[in-house]
């Protein structure tokens, strides 16, 4: 039998986004009982150095704390690991190398979800940190599928995105939602057909202010949760088709 499925979540970036991801996992998993839900171990430790400041050269690297989380999740016996933080994927290769359990990349899950849409968008606005924008993961992935990517300007990032993101981190979701709505609306005004919310704080904030354009958005964390649920269901159906429990501890 394959190693029992047990998802490891390397979270804490920020802690509210990690809790939101856990809700997304529940929403993505069809289940008739507790025992059919996706099993997970969550490392929701927020004492991770600021990823945005690290990549801007204004703070220490978060890699040591991320590696500690990877170590603890592997010690817990997880079969897969996900990171519900887009910017932290800058250290994805180092974390993958240090982990016995494979890491699922949020960009791969996002691309799978977008190409499965009945009608693929042609122009996508990308709402993300400067670090994620500089890495170019989403731009390259979307371009390979024939989608044009619209990016925030430097002024928009400084005036709206960065203060909006940090407002969410200090618990001011409405303030953050109002600022991030301005960023999103600017991309739509420049011709984006749909928006990719490639920062886990952004969907939380936009939901708080009931942004009228939410139907035009895609959430990579939600698409990652859906991919996790798909893997769990494949395992559940293959090894325990007639039971309610996956007996992962046996």
Residues serving a catalytic function are: 85, 199
Buried residues in 175-195 as b, exposed as e (16+ CB within 10 A): bbbbbbbebbbbbbeeebbbb
Of the candidates 199, 164, 168, 180, the residue with the CA atom closest to the CA atom of residue 88: 199
Q: E-strand spans in the chain? A: 7-10, 40-43, 80-82, 123-127, 148-150, 194-197, 217-218
Terminal C-alpha separation, the chain: 11
Read off the tokens for 127.
């709402």
Torsion, Cα of 45, 61, 162, 200 (10° steps):
-40
CA distances from 215 to 74, 195, 203, 206 (A): 37, 9, 12, 11
- Number of Cα atoms under 13 Å in the Cβ half of residue 231: 22
């Amino acid at each position: 039998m394959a190693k029992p499925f047990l998802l490891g979540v390397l979270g804490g970036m920020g802690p509210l986004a990690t809790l939101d991801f856990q809700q997304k996992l529940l929403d993505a998993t069809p289940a008739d009982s507790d025992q059919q839900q996706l099993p997970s171990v969550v490392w929701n430790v927020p004492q991770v150095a600021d990823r945005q400041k690290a990549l801007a050269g204004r703070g220490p690297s978060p890699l040591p704390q991320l590696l500690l989380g990877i170590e603890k999740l592997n010690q817990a016996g997880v079969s897969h690991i996900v990171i519900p933080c887009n910017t932290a994927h800058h250290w994805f290769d180092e974390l993958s190398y240090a982990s016995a359990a494979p890491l699922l990349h949020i960009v791969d899950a996002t691309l799978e979800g977008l190409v499965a849409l009945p009608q693929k968008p042609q122009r996508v606005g990308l709402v993300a940190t400067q670090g994620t924008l500089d890495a170019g993961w989403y731009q390259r992935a979307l371009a390979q599928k024939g989608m044009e990517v619209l990016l925030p300007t430097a002024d928009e990032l400084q005036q709206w995105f960065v203060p909006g993101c940090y407002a969410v981190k200090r618990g001011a979701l409405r303030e953050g939602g109002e600022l991030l709505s301005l960023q999103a609306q600017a991309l739509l005004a420049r011709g984006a057909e749909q928006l990719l919310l490639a920062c886990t704080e952004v969907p939380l904030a936009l939901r708080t202010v009931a942004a009228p354009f939410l139907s035009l958005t895609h959430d990579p964390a939600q698409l990652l949760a859906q991919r996790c649920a798909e893997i769990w269901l494949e395992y559940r159906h293959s090894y325990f088709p007639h039971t309610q429990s996956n007996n992962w501890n046996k």
